[in-house]
Amino acid sequence: MKKNVKELSGSIKKNDTIIIDIDTVTENGDGIGRAEDGKVVFCFGALPDETVSCRIIKVTSGYYIGKLQEIIKHSERSGRIEPSCDVFYKCGGCVFCHADYNAQLEFKDAHVHDCIKRIGGINDYEKEPVMPSPLTEHYRNKSIYQFAENEFKGNSESKKGNLLCGFYRRNSHDVVSCDNCIIEDSVAKEIREAFCKTAEAFNYTAYNEDTDRGLLKRLMVRTSLKNRNGVAVAVINGEKLPREKEFTESLVKACDSKLCGFYINVHKNRNNNVMTDDFRLVYGDAVLKDNIGPAEFNISPQSFYQVNPLQTERLYEKAFEYASLKDGEALVDFFCGIGTIGIYFAKRATEQGIKLRSLLGIEYTERAVKDAAVNAELNGVSHISNFLAGDAEKVLGKIAEEVEKSKPDVMVVDPPRKGLTENLIKSVAFCKPSRVVYVSCNPATLARDLKVFAAEGYKTEKVCAVDMFPGSGHCETVVKMSRLELER
């Protein structure tokens, strides 16, 4: 044991430094090992197959949290590399920049299938190879930046000016500058830099959470891979920007044709909500236009849209493959958002000479449903499409008998991280689709739901982990289920 590490004869206390072997890693980037008393230790920055020393910064009845002090031993299997991001250990945006990409894929794939087997109790299925992202850097088409007052006003070239723009420091609301973010789209970077430079010139202030004073809370930029332009949303503590028209003209000029739309989001509430529903278009187009494969989409600022455009096409193509659509079949798309998956399926089916009978999309918000209808028209599939707004469980409950009579053949679900309710799964099973395709962003809730689907007569046939978020711990998963004829 290292001389600078305390010999522990009794219980481990806060600020003790201990040595642990790292066995695995969480999706949040915390290496997991065990202390000499048997308790689990979480240590951010430590990787599997490493021996590290860490200082205990939190003690609970069931586990410890440690801060990495030194890497004592590591193997090639850990995949450790020097992070290409110079603020990786400060910024809360990414968690795996210190691991090479193959190691990241291994971590994520293992996590997905461990959840399915351990939580879902499902072992008999075809495990497809994890799908790597075509881009591992500068892939994000959506970024949300935080503002703060710069404490270093003019002390160095890299930190001059009054505004600090970046992301929250890990486990805090301190803002870390993101001048060289490695996952930010290059167009978003241009728009962000132009916005900050223009805001400085107009002497705009950053919002302060403690005092509830200041103007700029955050900036969201969404970009189009196809058109290489973007829409910006300034979230402000006020009704409008000072000299708003003049500022907008300066911003548009500074963006040099990269900015196709600019919104103000009025957010005078003292809470941590990223935005409110109060959007006001100040300049340009109300929607961003982009493509996923052959399908075109109009995207509103508040719409859900996958952040990795190249990988999204591959994700949807895998889901389309699992759907195995045929002539005359009916498709139901739950949590359809602006219609991306269902419309993509319909468009791809048309390309392959498959004529679907119908497409039904269900989404919670009325605005998203209206956008979905527009997108269906845009893609020439409106004649078979219908989109309904409301809670998926309640909407399906109301129309379940009607849907069952129309014999839907395929249902695709793409829920938020909390997954599906048991009642919704039972409603899906009541409609008796022959295939269910589940697209998930949370392996734990996916596994829980697959267990319920199994009890309702649906067999998990294929599973494919899809890395949509290189550098982070998040992973999408596509699952194919088929209905079994059960004796009732």
When pLDDT is averaged across residues 217-227 and rounded to a whole number, the result is 97
Task: Report residue 383 as tokens.
Answer: 């004649």
Res. 2: pLDDT tops 60? no
Give which of 88, 310, 52, 263 is closest to 180, Cα–Cα.
88
Tens-place pLDDT, residues 19-60: 999 999 999 999 999 999 999 999 999 999 999 999 999 999
Q: One fold for both 17-78 and 142-291?
A: yes
Tens-place pLDDT, residues 337-356: 999 999 999 999 999 999 99
CATH assignment of 17-78, among 3.30.70.330, 2.40.50.140, 3.40.50.720, 3.40.710.10: 2.40.50.140
pLDDT at 234: 98
φ/ψ (deg, to 5) at 389: -100, 140
pLDDT at 391: 86
Task: Between 167 and 151, name the one with better pLDDT.
Answer: 167
Tens-place pLDDT, residues 78-109: 899 999 898 898 888 899 999 999 999 999 99
When pLDDT is averaged across residues 435-460 and rounded to a whole number, the result is 97
Q: What is the CATH number of domain 142-291?
A: 2.40.50.1070
- Number of Cβ atoms within 10 Å of the Cβ of 197: 14
When pLDDT is averaged across residues 305-309 and rounded to a whole number, the result is 96
pLDDT at 156: 43
Task: Between 50 and 393, name the one with better pLDDT.
Answer: 50
* % of the chain residues with pLDDT over 70: 94
pLDDT at 152: 53
Mean pLDDT of the chain: 92
pLDDT at 157: 42
pLDDT at 400: 66
312, 314, 319, 320: CA torsion to nearest 10: 110
Task: Between 484 and 128, name the one with better pLDDT.
Answer: 128
CATH fold for domain 106-135+292-299+308-483:
Rossmann fold (3.40.50)
Reply yes or no on whether 196 is catalytic.
no
Give which of 213, 192, 194, 214 is closest to 203, Cα–Cα.
214
Tens-place pLDDT, residues 250-270: 999 999 999 999 999 999 999
pLDDT at 151: 66
Q: Give the pLDDT band of residue 159 (cuts 50, 70, 90).
A: very low
Show Cβ contacts of residue 377 under 8 Å, excluding neighbours closer than 6 positions. none
Q: Give the pLDDT band of residue 297 (cuts 50, 70, 90).
A: very high
Domain ranges of the chain: 17-78, 106-135+292-299+308-483, 142-291
Pick the range with the lowest mean pLDDT from 167-176, 259-268, 372-381: 167-176
Exactly one of 178, 336, 441, 475 is catalytic; which is it? 441
Res. 153: pLDDT tops 80? no
Report the Cα 126 to chain-centroid distance in Å.
26
